[in-house]
Amino acid sequence: MTLTTLILLAFVAIEHIYFLILEMFMWTKPKGIKAFGLKSRQFAEETKVLAANQGLYNGFLAAGLIFSMIENDIRVAVFFLICVTIAGIYGAFSTKQIKVFYVQAIPAIIALIFCFIPS
């Protein structure tokens, strides 16, 4: 993998670690409520278990990307980048917030493109 590809993979992985932190530990805090545009603290409390589960999945995506970097395995990177892209597309569609696509899917798509550029 090229240095540029590794940097892009690291960026996407760091994003997903940040999502994990927001969803698992900050969902009911002002920063989490604001980041996800939640309607109230009560709603955040009622949905925190679902958010924590979602955060865990984001952690798995980050772990897969980090594993691909450690193993220098482009196939693993491509698999997890496709997963991130699909999650970003679905997230934008299901929440009707295009921002999800830009924040989650676009960086993964860019990294995916760089996976196929020869070194």
Q: Tens of pLDDT along 93-114? A: 998 989 999 999 999 999 999 9
For residue 110, give the nearest of 4, 3, 1 by alpha carbon: 4
**pLDDT exceeds 80 at position 115:** yes
Span 32-43, average pLDDT: 91
SS3 of 75, please?
A: helix
Own/partner contacts of 85-90, CB < 8 Å, gap of 24 or more, are: 85/109, 85/112, 87/61
Range of the domain at 109: 3-115
For the record, the structure tokens of 81 come out as 């980048």
**pLDDT exceeds 90 at position 118:** no
CA distance 92 to 96: 5
As for how many domains the chain has, the answer is: 1
Is 84:55 a contact under the CB 8 Å cutoff? no
Span 51-74, average pLDDT: 96
CA distance 23 to 19: 6
**pLDDT exceeds 90 at position 119:** no
